[in-house]
Amino acid sequence: MEIVQVFKALSDETRFKLINVLLTHDLCVGALAHHLGISEAAVSQHLKQLREVGLVKGEKRGYWTHYMVERNKLSELAEFVRELTSLPPCPEGVCIKKLNQKNDCHKEGVKMCDCKCQYPEKLIGKPEECTPEQIKECHGDEEHPCEEKKESTK
């Protein structure tokens, strides 16, 4: 199930209403059009999109096709959202520059930038692992902001 496509299909108010009605009644296009106050052609187009993402199916009954919700697909969607809400936040915080990369902050040894770096993807890792060229490219002539200031003891 392509989750983004399912969310897109449900993002339309009419399709969302269709799902709500079909959760309690198996209905044909004509009955759905009457219930929602829209044309049968509009209902057919919305049902087509819901069928394409696997949220509804049709069953021929006599002359008409009655539509019903694929409850297992809806359950998969609900489980996906439940799993998203149970993900713990990264203990190090999230660097906005790292969001587009496939880093799993929960893996052992992965430490994400704490957003002091302007372009952290240009750096190797810790300040002491970076070359002077990388630091200059990331920060210009400034001192590396991720490096803790060393106190001079005299």
User: Which 3-state string (H, E, C) describes 26-43?
Assistant: CEEHHHHHHHHCCCHHHH
pLDDT along the chain (154 residues), means of 10: 87 96 95 96 97 95 94 92 80 51 49 48 60 68 55 46
Token pair belonging to 80: 């996906």
Q: What is the pTM of this model?
A: 0.58
Do residues 120 and 113 lie in contact, with contact meaning Cβ atoms separated by under 8 Å? yes
Q: Which amino acid is at 42?
A: A
At residue 49, the pLDDT reads 96
CA separation for the pair 116, 149 (Å, rounded)? 14
pLDDT of residue 86: 82
Where exactly does CATH 1.10.10.10 map onto the chain?
3-73
Per-residue pLDDT, 25? 93
Question: Which class is 3-73 in CATH?
Answer: mainly alpha
How far, in Å, CA of 91 to CA of 94, rounded?
Answer: 9
